[in-house]
A and B are shown apart, each in its own frame.
Chain A
Amino acid sequence: MQFRKKYVVILLLACTVTLLVAALPSRKEKFKNLKVLPENISSKDLSRVMIDDFEDGLGVSCAFCHAQETDSLRLDYASDAKPEKQIARRMMQMTIGINRKFFNLKHPKIGDSTLVISCITCHNGQPRPGDETK
């Protein structure tokens, strides 16, 4: 009887540990081919940068920078086929640099609300700043 109780206790402990592990925040998603944004960025943070900084800041949709898959009309987010994506990377580096150099931010990050200069500062809803014809 004592022996069986021991097994029940061990089983309960094992179940508790399993449930606790399952309840812990999951490992951050890995996205392919991130070169300026952190590799371990969460899905939420990445989506927020894409929507707030690029979509709203430049007035563009995903296909402005992201190329389609070769065999479908879906987007291949990892692809570098469109030059706009490389330009976006340079722009992010420039934005980080401006915030660090001229506004003394120690660790500026794209998407961070503490940035003094962000995409929309110059773009104001336009793909190319100052281009009213779009």
Chain B
Amino acid sequence: MKKDDLIPFDQNDDGIDRAGFLKCMAWAGTGLFCLMSGGVLKSYGMSQIIDKTTGRIKKDIQIEKADFSFAQISDSHIGFNKPANPDVVATLQASISKINAMPTAPSFVLHTGDLSHLAQADEFDTLDQAMKSAKTGRIFYVPGEHDVLNDNGKQYLQRYGKDSKGSGWYSFDFNGVRFIGLVNVIDTAEGGLGVLGNEQLNWLENDVKGLSSSTPIVVFAHIPLWAVYPQWGWGTRDSAQALSYLKRFGSVSVLNGHIHQTLQKVEGNITFHTATSTAFPQPQPGAAPSAGPMKVPAEQLRNLLGITTVSYIEHNHTLAVTDIPLSNSDEKQPEHQ
């Protein structure tokens, strides 16, 4: 990160102020490549690293070969049909095509919630049908608040949470990395903030207790686990407690959705990253009276939707995060060399 990108006025002690936030937002939608090494994040605009004539990574940029990769997809909102995007199935399928076009198939896909718009059985069916076409080993889910409407998540749990704990949280290991899926949309707080709750926090504490501090950790949940913009409910009330259990680990990556735009922040050993939606964009924090579907000119929509891919390099425990907008559907994907 350049010196100019530092955020000098950190009033809320959350590593971000309005000016800094707008700087981050300038990256959004253009695609972002991030490499984390030893807790230090190097980020590049996609335009900086992609050769426009070939669609591949520029020759003078070295990217280490990954041991495995996975993709993150978020906020599909199947069932949404307003002017902000009347065909969310098509944009989900375009996102899946992006995954399928990757040079190496991702080992698995994480869906970070809001699979459906109204938590209806037919919406979940449509999502399942579309996700079947993703060329990957497995798909892991966590719920968004739209997936638990009216029934506090019973239907979601029946469909996607069979092997999970509580309201759908779980963890698994892959190639020495601990992945932890958290649920912060069942319990509620004023203003729409996410809540993890004591039961889940106790489980998390125990889940990581026996792990070596060198174990890389990836946490994924729907609502951001950092205070992106609490005025719009873009944060989780008790996330500090959860993160305190992860402070001793050398590499922690937190992947979220909910806000429908890419943002990231590094705080010590923890890198926070939010993903774009596959359905519709939302305004930048404070740029509209409230959060909600944002209509943009049709030709701009796919610039603001997309997927995130993450590559893991074992020997130095690095995670490289790349956001890929849907707009460059005709371009070749960058190769990880």
A88 within 8 A of B: no
B37 within 8 A of A: no
Query: Using a Cβ cutoff of 8 Å, how many contacts connect chains A and B?
Result: 72
Q: Contact: A50 with B149, CB < 8 Å?
A: yes
B290 within 8 A of A: yes
Q: Contact: B231 with A134, CB < 8 Å?
A: yes
Give A35-77 interface residues, CB cut-off 8 Å to B: 43-44, 46-48, 50-52, 55-56, 58-64, 68, 72-75, 77
Q: Contact: A48 with B118, CB < 8 Å?
A: yes
CA distance A121 to B304 in the complex (A): 27
* Binding site secondary structure of chain B: loop
Which residue in B149, B186, B290 is a CB contact (below 8 Å) of A47? B149
Q: Contact: A59 with B289, CB < 8 Å?
A: yes
Which residues of the partner chain B approach A77 to less than 8 Å between Cβ atoms? 150
Which residue in B120, B195, B290 is a CB contact (below 8 Å) of A43? B120
A95 within 8 A of B: no
B190 within 8 A of A: yes
B197 within 8 A of A: yes
B43 within 8 A of A: no
Which residues of the partner chain A approach B232 to less than 8 Å between Cβ atoms? 59
Q: Contact: B187 with A74, CB < 8 Å?
A: yes
Q: Contact: B289 with A74, CB < 8 Å?
A: no
**Proximity bits, A79-93, B CB within 8 Å = 1, else 0:** 000000000000000
**Proximity bits, A115-134, B CB within 8 Å = 1, else 0:** 00000000011100000101
CA distance A87 to B145 in the complex (A): 24
Which residue in A43, A48, A52, A59 is a CB contact (below 8 Å) of B291? A59
B146 within 8 A of A: yes
B189 within 8 A of A: yes
**Proximity bits, B275-296, A CB within 8 Å = 1, else 0:** 0000000000000111111000
Q: Contact: B188 with A73, CB < 8 Å?
A: yes
**B residues engaging A (CB < 8 A)?**
82, 117-120, 145-146, 149-150, 152, 186-192, 195, 197, 231-233, 288-293
**A residues engaging B (CB < 8 A)?**
31, 43-44, 46-48, 50-52, 55-56, 58-64, 68, 72-75, 77, 124-126, 132, 134
